[in-house]
Amino acid sequence: MGAEPLLSVDGVAIGYPGPGGRVPAVAGADLTVGHGETVMLIGRSGCGKSTVLKAVAGFLTPSAGRISFHGAEVEGPAPDRAVVFQELDQLFPWRTVLGNVAYALRATGTPRDEARARATAQLELMGLGHALDRHPHQLSGGMKQRVAIARAFALEPRMLLMDEPFGALDAQTRGRLQAELAGLARRTRVSILFVTHSIDEAVLLGDRVVVLGGRPSSVVETLDVAGLDSPDTEGFTAARRRLRALLSDDREEAGRAVLD
Amino acid sequence: MPSSTETAPPADAGAGGRRSDGPWSRLPVGLRRSALLVALLGVWQLYVVAAGVSPLVFAGPWDVAAAFAEGWGGGALVGPTLTTLRILGLGMLIGTALAVVLTALAVATRFGDDLLTLLTAMVNPLPSVAILPLAMLWFGLDETVLVFVVANAVLWPMAVNIGMGFRTVPATTLMVGRSLGLRSWRLIRDVHLPAALPHTVAGVRTGWAFGWRTVIAAELVFGVAGAQGGLGFFINEARFHLDIPDVFAGLVTIALIGIALDLLFTLLERRTVVRWGMKEGAAL
Ligand SMILES: Nc1ncnc2c1ncn2[C@@H]1O[C@H](COP(=O)(O)OP(=O)(O)O)[C@@H](O)[C@H]1O
Ligand SMILES: [Mg+2]
pLDDT at A252: 65
Percent of all residues in chain A with a pLDDT value above 90, rounded to a whole number: 67
Question: In chain A, whose CA is at the least distance from the CA of B273?
Answer: A94
Rounded CA gap, A108 and A105, in Å? 5
- pLDDT tens for B158-171 read 998 988 898 889 99
State whether A93 and B190 contact (CB < 8 Å): no
Give the nearest ligand 1 atom to A47 CA.
22
Query: Has residue B150 got a pLDDT over 50?
Result: yes
pLDDT at B22: 80
Sign of CA dihedral B64, B67, B70, B74: negative
pLDDT at B185: 85
In the predicted model, what is the mean pLDDT of chain A? 90
Query: Has residue A102 got a pLDDT over 90?
Result: yes
State whether B172 and A136 contact (CB < 8 Å): no
User: Which residue in B1, B168, B173, B180 has the most chain A C-beta atoms within 10 A of its own C-beta, making it the best mutation to test that interface?
Assistant: B180
- pLDDT tens for A28-57 read 899 999 999 999 999 998 899 999 999 999
Ligand nearest to the backbone CA of A41:
1
Q: How confident is the model at residue B227 (pLDDT cuts 50, 70, 90)?
A: low
Overall pTM > 0.90: no
Rounded to a whole number of angstroms, the distance from the CA of B233 to the nearest CA of chain A is 43
Query: Has residue B5 got a pLDDT over 70?
Result: no
How many angstroms does the Cα of residue B188 sit away from the middle of ligand 1?
Answer: 27
Contact indicator for A54, A60 with CB cutoff of 8 Å: yes
DSSP run (H or E) holding A46 = none
Mutate to test the pocket of ligand 1, among A50, A59, A61 (most ligand atoms within 8 A of CB): A50
Q: How far is CA A67 from the centre of its chain?
A: 16
Question: Which one-letter DSSP state was computed for residue A6?
Answer: S
Question: Mean pLDDT, to the nearest integer, of B98-125?
Answer: 87
Q: How far is CA A119 from the centre of its chain?
A: 21
Q: How confident is the model at residue A150 (pLDDT cuts 50, 70, 90)?
A: very high
Rounded to a whole number of angstroms, the distance from the CA of A71 to the nearest CA of chain B is 19
Rounded CA gap, B26 and B15, in Å? 13
A15 CB within 6 A, ligand 1:
no
pLDDT at B4: 42
Hey, what amino acid is at B155?
L
A47 CB within 6 A, ligand 1:
yes
Q: How confident is the model at residue B283 (pLDDT cuts 50, 70, 90)?
A: very low
Question: In chain B, whose CA is at the least distance from the CA of A77?
Answer: B179
pLDDT, greater one: A45 or A253: A45
pLDDT at B9: 43
A59 CB within 6 A, ligand 1:
no
Is B182 touching A (CB cutoff 8 A)? yes
DSSP string, B156-219: HHHHHHHHHHHHTS-HHHHHHHHHTT--HHHHIIIIIHHHTHHHHHHHHHHHHHHHHHHHHHHH
- Side by side, which strands form the sheet with A217-224? A72-73, A64-69, A7-18, A21-33, A217-224, A208-213, A38-42, A191-196, A159-163, A81-84
Q: How confident is the model at residue B256 (pLDDT cuts 50, 70, 90)?
A: very high
Q: Cis peptide before B133, with omega less than 30 degrees from 0?
A: no
Is B179 touching A (CB cutoff 8 A)? yes
In the predicted model, what is the mean pLDDT of chain B? 84
Is A85 touching B (CB cutoff 8 A)? yes
Give the nearest ligand 1 atom to A215 CA.
25
Name the least confident of A132-141, A245-254, B46-55, B184-193.
Answer: A245-254
Name the least confident of A127-131, A253-257, B95-99, B258-262.
Answer: A253-257
Give the nearest ligand 1 atom to A163 CA.
21
Question: In chain A, whose CA is at the least distance from the CA of B192?
Answer: A92
Contact indicator for A228, A61 with CB cutoff of 8 Å: no
Phi and psi at A36, nearest 5°, equal 75, 5
Which own/partner pairs from A20-24 qualify as long-range (CB within 8 Å, at least 24 positions apart)?
A22/A63, A24/A63, A24/A216
Query: Has residue B258 got a pLDDT over 70?
Result: yes
If 0-12 CB within 10 Å is exposed, 13-18 middle and 19+ buried, where does residue B206 land? middle
Inter-chain contacts counted by CB atoms under 8 A, chains A and B: 64
A131 CB within 6 A, ligand 1:
no
Which residue in A89, A94, A138 is closest to B197 by CB distance?
A94
pLDDT at B20: 67
